[in-house]
Structure 1
């Protein structure tokens, strides 16, 4: 399935950054529900048990030399959904994505966009709009220089302050 994110990644030549700022996403996600019921991914186990199709896209993108960075701004103590995301992030790292975490209180003085986003090659921003419970309701591409500059500045500041996944421990 081709999505706007896949399209952006396919066209990216240098960078793809993803900023996540919600504490809950898609609570009806079957994988999240399975995690709530005790399912855990085993990094040492059979790779096919934890590899997802999106990770093929990540691996292909990073193999082309595109730097992929994901920053997550989270409330602490974290929600169950964020704890789930933390637990299932190691495959993203294996695929070549860099992931960092920032406690929301350390982001209070950063001018942030109003919603989650992807930015590709510092040229195009894909905003994702969610319902109150975290279901995706719309996406919008923006390329105006002022929008790109805001996103670039916000992401760089978040990235600089954030803790690498390997060092972060959810509280």
Structure 2
């Protein structure tokens, strides 16, 4: 087995932007505490519409996705969420328009359904990016949603298992524009 390599936040950012064909993210957290999102999330909770282009990190993400898609690459994510969704998950859904406009394919699956199909608990409780079916970038979180560690995994067996989980998640999820409470 090839050991995982820890990534700094800078290396993490570089890794998820460097792929040749496909980038897939599986999101499993009930909430995330990313400092750059805090003001926008608080505004959402007050009933204000999100303005993601005011957040430099999100503006950069949308620009990067748009460029990858322009080059013929695919960026996709499946969010496993509660039914009903948490406040943070509702906030995430409110940002779908900007992700999709940039070209990212957004899909949803309820946590209950993820258990029914065997995705959970098998896929664990960490989020990850599968890049070109050759690299796995794993994100570890504490109980509050702070990202505390990033790892790069290139072990073929681990990456192949992630491909199986990706296929299972995509097959059983619904696109953001099609989602229902039971997706």
Q: Which segments of 5 or more consecutive residues in structure 1 lack a partner in the other structure?
A: none
Q: Which residue of 1 aligns with 2:96?
A: 89
2:85 aligned with 1:78: yes
Deviation at 1:90, TM superposition (A): 0.8
Higher helix share: 2
Aligned residue number for residue 31 of structure 2 = 24
Paired residues, number = 166
- Look up the match of 1:116: 127
Answer yes or no: is 1:11 the counterpart of 2:5: no
Structure 2: segments with no counterpart, 5+ residues: 1-8
1:151 paired with 2:133, answer: no
RMSD: 2.2
Which of 42, 46, 52 is the aligned partner of 1:37?
46
**Paired residues of 2:40 and 2:50 also in contact (CA < 8 A):** no
Task: Work out the CA distance in 1 between the residues paired with 2:22 and 2:10.
Answer: 18
1:64 to 1:3, Cα distance in 2 relative to 1, 3 A: farther
Q: Taking structure 1 as the reference length, what is the TM-score of the superposition?
A: 0.88
- In the TM superposition, what are the counterparts of 1:55-66 in structure 2 within 5 Å? 55-66=62-73
Secondary structure of 1:134's counterpart equals: coil
Say if 1:81 and 1:73 are closer, same or farther in 2 by CA, change over 3 A: same
Contact 2:29 2:125 (C-alpha < 8 Å) held by counterparts: no
**Match of residue 5 from structure 2:** none
CA separation of 1:129 and 1:9: change in aligned 2, threshold 3 A: closer
CA distance in 2, matches of 1:78, 1:16: 25
SS at match of 2:177: coil
Structure 1 outlier segments of 4+, above 3 Å: 2-6, 47-51
Mapped partners of 2:34, 2:63: distance in 1: 24
